[in-house]
Amino acid sequence: MSRYSPTNLRSRLTIWYVGVLAALLVIYAVIVFGFQYVVLTKQIVHDEVQDVVTVEGLLFFDTAGKLQLRQDYFSRPQSHLLVDRLMEVIDRSSGDVLYRTPTLKGMNLGGALRPGEGEAHPNERVIRLQDGTLVLLISHIHGMNGRQLVIRLGYSMAPLQARMFQFLLVLLIAIPIALLIAGAAGQAIARRALSPVEEMAKRAEGITAKNLHDRLNTSNPDDELGQLASAFNHLLDRLEQSFDQLKRFTADAAHELRTPIAAMRIIGEVALEENEGNVSYKEVLSSILEETARLNETIDALLLLARAEATQGGRETQSWSLQSVVNEVLGLLEVLSDEKGIRVVQEGSYVSNANIRADRGLLRTAIMNVLHNAIKFSPRNGVIRIAYDGLAPTRNAVQLYVQDEGPGIAEDEYEQVFERFFTSNSHETATFSGTGLGLSVAKLVIERLGGSIYFDHLAVGARCRIELPLSRDDARTNEQFD
């Protein structure tokens, strides 16, 4: 931006408005000026034509054969544009000047005859006399006493020039005054139009982390400023939600970390206070290790959550077979499933080899958390079903189902199960311990990969549905999933 350019929008709008108006006024003035000149010129020509007709009736030859003009011609009233009557009569055959008004003072009015001069009616042209005077000249052929005479009648253009100069002077005075008035009005209009923006800026500047609940006023949500305020309010809504989630996360994380630490401290203090002969240090150490494992599990889950949140197109991704990732996870969880006698059944193998472009580590973590959750809530000797299903070619995605035979999910908890540190209030799941972060990590990872995850409503058990976009190669051949 130029160093002389105004910094505020109000001044720039005013300058643009005045500039456009000035250009329009100048164009208008040029058009009107030209139109006025043409109209006045035509009026002079019309008056001169009428004057020529009058002159034709007042010319006569005296007894000496000399052409004369009756004196009452000069006493006739004339238009205010017709001053300094100039007339010259020339014999067309010989080219001799038969009559010339005294006002010419011996000067020629148009010089020698031109070929065809006076034949057209009217035949006008602008000439300049020897003294520099501009004259609008009319020529007309008139027959008299068997002779053809060319009557030249001219009037000075000084009145026309004076009239046009006055008109130009009026324009030069009126246009700047009009621009000054328009500039003041434009400044006032711009100030009034932009006052809501200034109000929004002041209100937005006063919004901090302590008052994120404040919002910008939207008196008219349908206009441009209202849409801007609404967009900013939506941004504040998301920020407030993020801050609330961060506060809850911090509080829940502190609570989850404090619980095992407090348990270890209590176990240690009790062990020290008890009589040495009655203390089983193996049991104490086992309890401490159990709480330490729980603490470590919580910290690992928090690190995974932070890693997943930081992944937004910055990590290198490759194309992986979805079934290979699922089989890898089943191998890692085989000990847990065998311990409970759980049988895992895979179905829909015709799309199970679909390729997913993702960070394999994060994808494995998400699927592991879902399967670990299914194993944890499944009864002993239960069955977990894993199914693959293709979507319509336009979706370019594949779905993975994980269904268990556990206690299921309460009707009002289908959305809450993905919240961080969520603990179900159902008495059927109260005996199952965990960090409450597994499904949160899974949801975050799946959404980072462009997919979605949710639980279907079932009467018995729970079924988690994961939808993942196919890699580009598989997307081009997705007709097999239709």
| Listed residues 162, 189, 205: the one ending a domain | 162
What is the pLDDT at residue 341?
Answer: 92
Query: What average pLDDT does this structure show over 446-458?
Result: 86
How many domains, the chain? Answer: 2
> Which of 21-35, 50-64, 317-331 has the weakest average pLDDT?
50-64
What is the pLDDT at residue 279?
Answer: 52
Tell me: the pLDDT tens digits for 179-231? 999 889 888 888 888 788 888 888 888 877 777 778 877 777 777 778 888 88
Residue 260 to residue 39: CA distance in whole angstroms: 102
Q: The tokens of 224 are what?
A: 């441009």
Q: Does any domain span residue 192?
A: no
Q: Does any domain span residue 390?
A: yes
| Mean pLDDT of the residues in the chain | 78
Residue 420: pLDDT over 70: yes
Beta bridge partners of 134: 128
Q: The tokens of 133 are what?
A: 């005077």
Q: Does any domain span residue 158?
A: yes
Highest mean pLDDT among 296-300, 305-309, 331-335: 331-335
Query: What average pLDDT does this structure show over 283-295?
Result: 67
What is the pLDDT at residue 83?
Answer: 61
Q: Does any domain span residue 205?
A: no
What is the pLDDT at residue 181?
Answer: 92
Tell me: the pLDDT tens digits for 139-172? 888 888 878 888 888 887 888 888 889 989 998 9
| Listed residues 118, 139, 162: the one ending a domain | 162
Residue 27: pLDDT over 90: yes
- At residue 100's C-alpha, the angle toward residues 97 and 104, to 5°, is 125
- At residue 304's C-alpha, the angle toward residues 303 and 309, to 5°, is 100
Helix (H, G, I), strand (E, B) or coil at 251: helix
Residue 136: pLDDT over 90: no
What is the pLDDT at residue 154?
Answer: 82
Residue 346 to residue 327: CA distance in whole angstroms: 10
| Listed residues 162, 194, 226: the one ending a domain | 162
What is the pLDDT at residue 24?
Answer: 93
What is the pLDDT at residue 481?
Answer: 41
Is 423 exposed, middle or buried (CB count within 10 Å of its CB: 0-12, 13-18, 19+)? Answer: middle
| Domain hosting residue 27, numbered range | 9-162
Contact 382, 346 (CB under 8 A): no
Beta bridge partners of 140: 151
What is the pLDDT at residue 482?
Answer: 44
Q: Does any domain span residue 121?
A: yes
What is the pLDDT at residue 7?
Answer: 67
> Which of 15-29, 199-213, 401-415, 457-471 has the weakest average pLDDT?
199-213
Q: Does any domain span residue 369?
A: yes
What is the pLDDT at residue 416?
Answer: 81
Query: What average pLDDT does this structure show over 389-413?
Result: 79
Beta-strand pair 462-469/397-404: antiparallel
Q: Does any domain span residue 289?
A: no
Residue 278 to residue 13: CA distance in whole angstroms: 88
Query: What average pLDDT does this structure show over 13-21?
Result: 88
> Which of 97-111, 261-275, 419-433 has the weakest average pLDDT?
419-433
Q: Does any domain span residue 413?
A: yes
| 384: nearest Cα among 395, 397, 400 | 400
What is the pLDDT at residue 254?
Answer: 62
Domain of 122: which CATH number? 3.30.450
Tell me: the pLDDT tens digits for 122-131? 677 888 888 8
Domain of 459: which CATH number? 3.30.565.10
